[in-house]
Amino acid sequence: MESKSGSLEVITGSMFCGKTDELIRRLRRAAIAKQKIQVFKPKIDNRYAEAKVTSHAGSEFDAVPIEKAADIRASLEADTTVVAVDEVQFLDGEIVAIVNYLADRGLRVIVAGLDTDFRGEPFGPMPTLIAQAEHVDKLHAICMVCGEDASRTQRLVNGKPANYNDPVVIVGAAELYEARCRLHHEVPA
Protein backbone atom coordinates (compact mmCIF):
# COMPACT_ATOMS: atom_id res chain seq x y z
CA MET A 1 0.00 0.00 0.00
CA GLU A 2 1.35 3.40 -0.99
CA SER A 3 1.47 5.92 1.81
CA LYS A 4 0.43 9.50 1.13
CA SER A 5 2.89 12.22 2.04
CA GLY A 6 1.51 14.80 4.43
CA SER A 7 2.01 18.51 4.00
CA LEU A 8 1.81 21.87 5.72
CA GLU A 9 0.13 24.77 3.92
CA VAL A 10 0.30 28.31 5.32
CA ILE A 11 -2.09 31.09 4.30
CA THR A 12 -0.83 34.43 5.59
CA GLY A 13 -0.94 38.19 5.18
CA SER A 14 -2.39 41.25 6.91
CA MET A 15 -5.87 41.61 8.31
CA PHE A 16 -8.63 41.89 5.69
CA CYS A 17 -6.62 40.11 2.95
CA GLY A 18 -8.88 37.04 2.75
CA LYS A 19 -6.92 34.44 4.77
CA THR A 20 -9.99 32.86 6.36
CA ASP A 21 -11.95 32.97 3.08
CA GLU A 22 -9.08 31.08 1.39
CA LEU A 23 -8.92 28.58 4.27
CA ILE A 24 -12.67 27.96 3.99
CA ARG A 25 -12.40 27.60 0.19
CA ARG A 26 -9.79 24.85 0.63
CA LEU A 27 -11.89 23.14 3.30
CA ARG A 28 -14.99 23.15 1.09
CA ARG A 29 -12.97 21.52 -1.69
CA ALA A 30 -11.71 18.86 0.74
CA ALA A 31 -15.31 18.26 1.85
CA ILE A 32 -16.42 17.80 -1.78
CA ALA A 33 -13.63 15.20 -2.08
CA LYS A 34 -15.18 13.45 0.96
CA GLN A 35 -12.08 13.92 3.10
CA LYS A 36 -12.45 13.84 6.89
CA ILE A 37 -11.80 17.40 8.12
CA GLN A 38 -11.21 18.84 11.59
CA VAL A 39 -10.93 22.58 12.09
CA PHE A 40 -9.57 24.36 15.16
CA LYS A 41 -9.34 27.97 16.28
CA PRO A 42 -8.01 29.71 19.39
CA LYS A 43 -10.72 30.41 22.00
CA ILE A 44 -9.40 33.98 22.23
CA ASP A 45 -10.86 34.66 18.75
CA ASN A 46 -14.52 35.13 19.69
CA ARG A 47 -15.29 37.97 17.29
CA TYR A 48 -18.04 36.29 15.28
CA ALA A 49 -18.98 32.79 16.48
CA GLU A 50 -17.54 30.57 19.20
CA ALA A 51 -17.56 27.26 17.27
CA LYS A 52 -16.93 28.49 13.73
CA VAL A 53 -14.13 30.07 11.76
CA THR A 54 -15.73 33.13 10.21
CA SER A 55 -14.25 35.53 7.67
CA HIS A 56 -14.82 39.29 7.76
CA ALA A 57 -16.86 38.72 4.57
CA GLY A 58 -19.18 36.31 6.40
CA SER A 59 -18.06 32.88 5.16
CA GLU A 60 -17.97 30.28 7.92
CA PHE A 61 -16.99 26.69 8.69
CA ASP A 62 -17.54 24.68 11.89
CA ALA A 63 -14.52 24.66 14.21
CA VAL A 64 -13.45 23.51 17.66
CA PRO A 65 -12.26 26.35 19.93
CA ILE A 66 -9.04 25.46 21.78
CA GLU A 67 -7.07 27.02 24.64
CA LYS A 68 -3.64 25.72 23.60
CA ALA A 69 -2.00 23.86 20.72
CA ALA A 70 -1.89 20.54 22.64
CA ASP A 71 -5.71 20.47 22.54
CA ILE A 72 -5.46 19.60 18.82
CA ARG A 73 -3.74 16.26 19.53
CA ALA A 74 -6.21 15.52 22.32
CA SER A 75 -9.19 16.19 20.01
CA LEU A 76 -7.90 14.51 16.85
CA GLU A 77 -10.10 11.73 15.47
CA ALA A 78 -8.43 8.63 14.01
CA ASP A 79 -9.92 8.94 10.50
CA THR A 80 -9.12 12.64 10.00
CA THR A 81 -7.12 13.42 6.85
CA VAL A 82 -7.25 17.25 6.84
CA VAL A 83 -6.54 19.45 9.86
CA ALA A 84 -7.01 23.21 9.66
CA VAL A 85 -6.19 25.93 12.19
CA ASP A 86 -7.34 29.53 11.80
CA GLU A 87 -5.72 32.49 13.60
CA VAL A 88 -2.72 30.25 14.33
CA GLN A 89 -0.60 33.26 15.42
CA PHE A 90 -2.55 33.28 18.72
CA LEU A 91 -1.45 29.74 19.67
CA ASP A 92 1.57 28.81 21.75
CA GLY A 93 4.85 27.64 20.21
CA GLU A 94 3.92 23.96 20.59
CA ILE A 95 1.76 24.38 17.47
CA VAL A 96 4.92 24.01 15.36
CA ALA A 97 5.69 20.52 16.70
CA ILE A 98 2.03 19.47 16.47
CA VAL A 99 1.47 20.48 12.84
CA ASN A 100 4.77 18.85 11.85
CA TYR A 101 3.78 15.68 13.71
CA LEU A 102 0.45 15.60 11.84
CA ALA A 103 2.06 16.26 8.44
CA ASP A 104 4.67 13.56 9.17
CA ARG A 105 1.77 11.15 9.81
CA GLY A 106 0.45 11.85 6.30
CA LEU A 107 -2.19 14.47 7.08
CA ARG A 108 -2.80 17.62 5.08
CA VAL A 109 -2.42 20.51 7.53
CA ILE A 110 -3.64 23.99 6.57
CA VAL A 111 -3.02 26.96 8.86
CA ALA A 112 -4.01 30.58 8.43
CA GLY A 113 -2.76 33.56 10.37
CA LEU A 114 -1.16 36.98 10.48
CA ASP A 115 2.52 36.92 9.56
CA THR A 116 3.20 40.20 11.40
CA ASP A 117 1.66 42.02 14.35
CA PHE A 118 0.51 45.66 14.33
CA ARG A 119 4.15 46.74 14.78
CA GLY A 120 5.13 44.99 11.54
CA GLU A 121 7.15 42.38 13.46
CA PRO A 122 6.92 38.56 13.05
CA PHE A 123 3.90 37.21 14.95
CA GLY A 124 4.16 34.22 17.29
CA PRO A 125 4.84 30.85 15.61
CA MET A 126 4.22 32.17 12.08
CA PRO A 127 7.85 32.66 10.95
CA THR A 128 8.70 29.04 11.80
CA LEU A 129 5.52 27.68 10.22
CA ILE A 130 6.21 29.66 7.04
CA ALA A 131 9.78 28.37 6.91
CA GLN A 132 8.75 24.72 7.39
CA ALA A 133 5.68 24.65 5.11
CA GLU A 134 5.55 22.94 1.73
CA HIS A 135 3.19 25.66 0.45
CA VAL A 136 2.93 29.31 1.51
CA ASP A 137 0.46 31.84 0.13
CA LYS A 138 0.87 35.46 1.19
CA LEU A 139 -2.28 37.39 0.42
CA HIS A 140 -2.63 41.16 0.25
CA ALA A 141 -5.42 43.51 1.26
CA ILE A 142 -6.03 47.04 -0.03
CA CYS A 143 -4.42 49.97 1.77
CA MET A 144 -7.12 52.08 3.41
CA VAL A 145 -5.05 55.23 2.76
CA CYS A 146 -3.97 54.95 -0.89
CA GLY A 147 -5.68 51.88 -2.39
CA GLU A 148 -2.42 50.06 -3.23
CA ASP A 149 -1.59 46.50 -2.11
CA ALA A 150 -1.45 46.30 1.68
CA SER A 151 0.82 43.90 3.56
CA ARG A 152 0.61 45.45 7.04
CA THR A 153 -2.00 45.58 9.80
CA GLN A 154 -2.52 49.04 11.29
CA ARG A 155 -3.98 49.12 14.81
CA LEU A 156 -5.91 52.27 15.64
CA VAL A 157 -6.62 53.77 19.06
CA ASN A 158 -9.23 56.54 18.90
CA GLY A 159 -8.57 56.78 15.16
CA LYS A 160 -4.79 57.21 15.52
CA PRO A 161 -1.97 54.64 15.06
CA ALA A 162 -1.31 52.52 18.17
CA ASN A 163 1.93 53.14 20.02
CA TYR A 164 4.74 50.58 19.70
CA ASN A 165 4.49 49.76 23.42
CA ASP A 166 0.77 48.94 23.33
CA PRO A 167 -0.19 45.26 23.91
CA VAL A 168 0.47 43.00 20.90
CA VAL A 169 -2.71 40.92 21.21
CA ILE A 170 -5.99 42.79 21.14
CA VAL A 171 -8.69 40.84 19.29
CA GLY A 172 -10.79 43.02 17.05
CA ALA A 173 -11.88 43.75 13.50
CA ALA A 174 -12.58 46.91 11.47
CA GLU A 175 -13.22 48.98 14.62
CA LEU A 176 -9.57 48.57 15.71
CA TYR A 177 -7.61 47.64 12.60
CA GLU A 178 -7.16 48.48 8.95
CA ALA A 179 -4.91 47.26 6.18
CA ARG A 180 -2.03 49.50 5.15
CA CYS A 181 0.82 49.46 2.63
CA ARG A 182 4.43 49.85 3.83
CA LEU A 183 4.37 53.61 3.13
CA HIS A 184 1.23 54.30 5.18
CA HIS A 185 1.81 51.85 8.05
CA GLU A 186 2.65 53.89 11.17
CA VAL A 187 3.96 52.74 14.56
CA PRO A 188 4.87 55.70 16.76
CA ALA A 189 7.63 54.94 19.29
| Residues catalogued as catalytic | 87
Instruction: Please write down the HEC assignment for all residues of 38-82.
Output: EEEEECCCCCCCCCEEECCCCCEEECEEECCCHHHHHHCCCCCCE
CA-based torsion, 169, 174, 175, 181: positive or negative:
positive
Is residue 153 helix, strand or coil?
strand
Query: Rounded to the nearest 5°, which phi and psi values hold at 68?
Result: -145, 165
In this structure, are residues 127 and 37 in contact, taking their beta carbons and an 8 Å threshold?
no
Query: In the Cβ-directed half-sphere of 40, how many Cα atoms lie within 13 Å?
Result: 28
b/e per residue 36-52 (b: at least 16 CB within 10 A): ebbbbbbeebeeeeeeb
